[in-house]
Amino acid sequence: MTALLELRNLKTHFKRDKIDIPAVDGVDLTINKGETVALVGESGSGKSITSLSIMRLIPSPPGKIVDGAILFNGNDLVNLTEDDMCKIRGNDISMIFQEPMTSLNPVLTVGEQIIEVLMYHQKLSRAASINKAVEMLEMVGFSRAKALINEYPHRLSGGMRQRVMIAIAMSCNPKLLIADEPTTALDVTIQAQILDLMKELSVKYDTSILIITHDLGVVSEVADKVVVMYCGQVVEEALVDDLFDEPLHPYTIGLMGSIPSLEGETDRLQSIEGTVPPPEHFPIGCRFAPRCPHAFDRCRAEAPKLVEVAGRRKVRCFLHSDKEATV
Amino acid sequence: MSATTIAKKGNHPSNTDSEYLLEVVDLKKHFPIKAGILQRNVGSVKAVDGVSFKVKRGETIGIVGESGCGKSTAGRTLIRLYEPTAGNILFKGRNISNMGESELRRSIRKDIQMIFQDPFASLNPRKTLKYILSEPMITHQMYKGKERGEKIDELLEKVGFNPMFVNRYPHEFSGGQRQRIGIARALAVNPDLIIADEPVSALDVSIQAQIINLMEDLQDDLGLTYVFISHDLSVVRHISDRVGVMYLGKMMEFAIKKDLYDEPLHPYTQALLSAVPVPKRKGVERRERIILKGDLPSPSNPPQGCVFHTRCPAATAICSEKVPEYKEVKKEHFVACHLY
């Protein structure tokens, strides 16, 4: 398998009141061709900032990619000019957002918003773009696509808008689709439709997907590989089956214990005590140490590194790195 | 459970020995649609359209459904935050559906409290915790003088706060902490029944678990009864004793939790349960997924007959003609479907 996207030690910092806030603090991540990778974490973990960094959509100032590389097909996106980046956005890498209500332009028809992308990136004529737009809308499951291109977004429901977003995002046949909480605002029956559609499209067009979510159910449904983030760092990375069979990092274990099961009974949920610390107060040692039930002295003094375990997964925790070292 | 509950609640004389704290009979809430210069009624949104269920003392009733199904409206109507269009609400055996506002306030309001979804919008940003927690006591003229301060300390400790925080403002707290304040406020007047409308939906999962555990502990401690409204089927399964499923203003199915989740009868409940993405767990078979076609119809113009027939995989001719009756098909298992 060849890597399509590779993040190497990505650091995106924000400046607030002259203090440097490390929102993303040294993230390594690889997405292979055709692979679906899920980025999981709670609010404040830096998962959305990571995705916006890949798209180079970080508002600057106050944000800045201060270190690291974003290799897309071997080219470093960090050093591209804004003009070159525009050619990649929406064409090679496209993105769908959480809020389908606010990410479509309310004063343009649905058709216009798809045609715009096609004419800009694919240099198609207007007539050809219209045909392609209808085709895209049919592909995402609209039966009356011809009529739909003349309608405005407010006439559509949340699920329909998200399908229009997917049609726009897929219209240039991107190599990578970044989906930031694509189903969080939707009802479960609609969510099931959208997830099904994304899976189908990724197989059909061999598109890689980076899906950002806090919902472990969605993760186990669509992902091949899972990356768990906490406080701007990757704390665990594993194939989806490995992760759900045996989570290693205490944070991942805590997250899984926090969700009630739909099947069978659980007496009491294992919650994680405390809250995510704000970036200006990250602890010196392991960032999870203050909330971790297994923390010992070393965790509070020294920051653990992300180490490879069992040859195919990575974890940032002394419980596992020590064990590996002594073996 | 119910016997000990009543004993604990000795200071609230009950008018009846009924095991039910709350009975809702054919509750309806229609919102008028007005149009034109004269603002004439041109139709109505049938947000809640004939919902019946009973709540036992000390239990938790879960109400689930997708957005727009009327679950929040039902929650608000049954405590008279909205005026019901029709139907009866019996609380402790008394019909409160047409009780006057002053009597309602004098005799019922303090026994029913509410917890809201958004912990950022439901607390006044300009008031301290002390004021937020004493306001319900002022309204209901409870705990005067020194007692009030003691009660506030007790409430804060109950929800896991340091009583030193009484002079802080809501913005100094995180979402999960604010939701704890919302819970403490609801408890300030010793209610019997708490309506919790999506109380954990705005929270991260690790915090969500803390709040759910807290609500369960408080229920054990104080003998509270909950009506828990949520779109999250796993959370509802965890916390509830009995669960109702709503769709377009109607109760489609209502049963003991285990029956509803293990053997759902209504095609909508089956589809809803199958649609939830569940984390893989060892030795657990995934339900076969039923993908529903289309979207929720508009509640201002619901389909004729069974409201679900437009999306139902099992629909037959009768479903589009006749409204199915909501009936008990097994012991304590109610369903509104022509299949049964």
Interface test with A, best of B71, B200, B205, B216 (most A CBs within 10 A): B205
Q: What is the pLDDT of residues A194-253, one digit of tens each?
A: 888 888 888 888 899 999 988 888 898 889 999 999 999 999 999 999 998 889 999 999
Question: Does position A187 have pLDDT exceeding 90, yes or no?
Answer: no
Q: What is the pLDDT of residues B295-333, one digit of tens each?
A: 778 778 889 999 999 989 888 999 999 999 999 999 899
Contact at CB, B237 and A258, closer than 8 angstroms = no
How high is the pLDDT of residue B13? 44
Q: What is the pLDDT of residues B50-107, one digit of tens each?
A: 899 999 999 999 999 888 888 989 999 988 999 999 999 999 989 998 888 888 888 8
Among A205, A203, A192, which Cα is nearest to A162's? Answer: A192
How high is the pLDDT of residue B135? 92
In chain B, the percentage of residues whose pLDDT exceeds 70 is 93
Domain residue spans in chain A?
Answer: 3-92+172-262+270-326, 99-171
Q: What is the pLDDT of residues A286-314, one digit of tens each?
A: 999 998 988 888 888 888 988 888 788 99
How high is the pLDDT of residue B4? 42
Facing residue for A260 by CB, picked from B66, B237, B274 = B237
Residue of A nearest to B277 (CA): A217
Contact at CB, A256 and B273, closer than 8 angstroms = no
Facing residue for B205 by CB, picked from A42, A192, A266 = A42
**Mean of the per-residue pLDDT values of chain A:** 87
Q: How far is B129 from chain A (nearest CA, A)?
A: 20
A189 in contact with B, Cβ within 8 Å = yes
A94: exposed, middle or buried (Cβ count in 10 Å: 0-12, 13-18, 19+): buried
Question: Which amino acid is present at B97?
Answer: S
Q: How far is A158 from chain B (nearest CA, A)?
A: 9
Say how far apart CA A186 and CA A179 lie, in whole Å: 14
Taking the mean position of all CA atoms in its chain, how far away is CA B56? 14
Q: What is the pLDDT of residues B213-225, one digit of tens each?
A: 999 999 999 999 9
How high is the pLDDT of residue A1? 63
Among A178, A205, A206, which Cα is nearest to A103's? Answer: A178
Q: What is the pLDDT of residues A75-111, one digit of tens each?
A: 888 888 889 888 888 889 999 888 777 888 999 999 9
List the structure tokens of B261: 């989740």
Facing residue for A220 by CB, picked from B216, B279, B295 = B279
Confidence of residue A327 (pLDDT cuts 50, 70, 90): very low
Chain A partners within 8 Å of B277 (Cβ): 191-192, 195, 215, 217-218, 220-221
Facing residue for B271 by CB, picked from A189, A244, A272 = A189
* Residue B33: DSSP 8-state: E
How high is the pLDDT of residue B14? 45
List the structure tokens of A31: 């997405």
Say how far apart CA B203 and CA A43 lie, in whole Å: 9
Say how far apart CA B326 and CA B26 lie, in whole Å: 10
Contact at CB, A262 and B235, closer than 8 angstroms = no
Mean pLDDT value across residues A121-150: 88
Q: How far is A216 from chain B (nearest CA, A)?
A: 6
B-contacting residues of A 66-85, CB under 8 Å? none
How high is the pLDDT of residue B190? 92
Residue of B nearest to A259 (CA): B205
Residue of A nearest to B311 (CA): A189
Mean pLDDT value across residues B181-185: 93
Model pTM score: 0.84
Contact at CB, A187 and B66, closer than 8 angstroms = yes
Facing residue for A192 by CB, picked from B234, B275, B280 = B275
Other beta carbons less than 10 A from residue A321's beta carbon = 17
Say how far apart CA A272 and CA A249 lie, in whole Å: 13
In chain B, the percentage of residues whose pLDDT exceeds 90 is 52
Question: Does position B235 have pLDDT exceeding 50, yes or no?
Answer: yes
Strand order in the sheet with A208-213: A93-96, A176-180, A208-213, A36-40, A225-230, A233-239, A313-315, A307-309
Among A164, A157, A215, which Cα is nearest to A40's? Answer: A215
In chain A, the percentage of residues whose pLDDT exceeds 70 is 98
Residue bearing the bigger pLDDT, B144 or B61: B61
| Residue ranges of chain B whose CB lies within 8 Å of a chain A CB | 66-67, 174, 176-177, 204-210, 212-213, 216, 231, 233-235, 237-239, 261, 271-282, 284, 289, 291-292, 295-296
Other beta carbons less than 10 A from residue B7's beta carbon = 9
Facing residue for A157 by CB, picked from B280, B282, B295 = B295
Quote the CATH superfamily of domain A3-92+172-262+270-326: P-loop containing nucleotide triphosphate hydrolases (3.40.50.300)
Q: Is the dihedral of CA B226, B230, B236, B239 positive or negative?
A: negative
Say how far apart CA B46 and CA B86 lie, in whole Å: 12
List the structure tokens of B244: 């109702």
CB B245 within 8 A of CB B202: no
Mean pLDDT value across residues B38-50: 86
Range of lowest pLDDT (A264-278, B48-62, B258-272, B275-289): B275-289
Contact at CB, A262 and B273, closer than 8 angstroms = yes
How high is the pLDDT of residue B11? 42
Chain B partners within 8 Å of A36 (Cβ): none
In degrees, to the nearest 5, what angle opens at C-alpha B9 toward C-alphas B5 and B15?
100
Contact at CB, B234 and A261, closer than 8 angstroms = yes
Other beta carbons less than 10 A from residue B215's beta carbon = 22
Confidence of residue B15 (pLDDT cuts 50, 70, 90): very low
Query: SS in 3 state form for B240-254?
Result: CCEEEEEECCEEEEE
Among A207, A291, A206, which Cα is nearest to A249's? Answer: A291
Q: What is the pLDDT of residues A20-52, one digit of tens each?
A: 888 888 899 999 988 999 999 888 888 888 999
Chain A partners within 8 Å of B212 (Cβ): 260, 269
A205 in contact with B, Cβ within 8 Å = no
Residue of A nearest to B297 (CA): A157
Long-range CB pairs of B4-8, under 8 A, 24+ apart, other chains included: B4/B58, B4/B223, B5/B57, B5/B58, B5/B223, B6/B57, B8/B222, B8/B223
Q: Number of residue pairs across A and B with CB atoms under 8 Å?
A: 119
Question: Does position A323 have pLDDT exceeding 70, yes or no?
Answer: no
Interface test with A, best of B179, B204, B273 (most A CBs within 10 A): B204
B-contacting residues of A 149-168, CB under 8 Å? 157, 159-160
Among B144, B185, B142, B196, which Cα is nearest to B161's? Answer: B185
Range of lowest pLDDT (A15-24, A240-249, A269-278, A316-325): A316-325
Which ipTM score applies to this complex?
0.78
* Residue B315: DSSP 8-state: -
Question: Does position B283 have pLDDT exceeding 70, yes or no?
Answer: no
Mean pLDDT value across residues A174-184: 89
Chain B partners within 8 Å of A259 (Cβ): 205, 209, 234, 279
How high is the pLDDT of residue A102? 82
Taking the mean position of all CA atoms in its chain, how far away is CA A300? 30
Other beta carbons less than 10 A from residue A274's beta carbon = 14
Range of lowest pLDDT (B7-11, B93-97, B130-134, B237-241): B7-11
Say how far apart CA A268 and CA B239 lie, in whole Å: 10
A195 in contact with B, Cβ within 8 Å = yes
DSSP string covering A225-240, please? Answer: EEEEEETTEEEEEEEH
Residue bearing the bigger pLDDT, A95 or A141: A95
Q: Is the dihedral of CA B322, B324, B325, B326 positive or negative?
A: negative
Q: Which CATH code, of 3.40.50.1220, 1.20.272.10, 3.10.580.10, 3.40.50.300, is assigned to B2-240?
A: 3.40.50.300
Interface test with B, best of A189, A230, A252, A259 (most B CBs within 10 A): A189
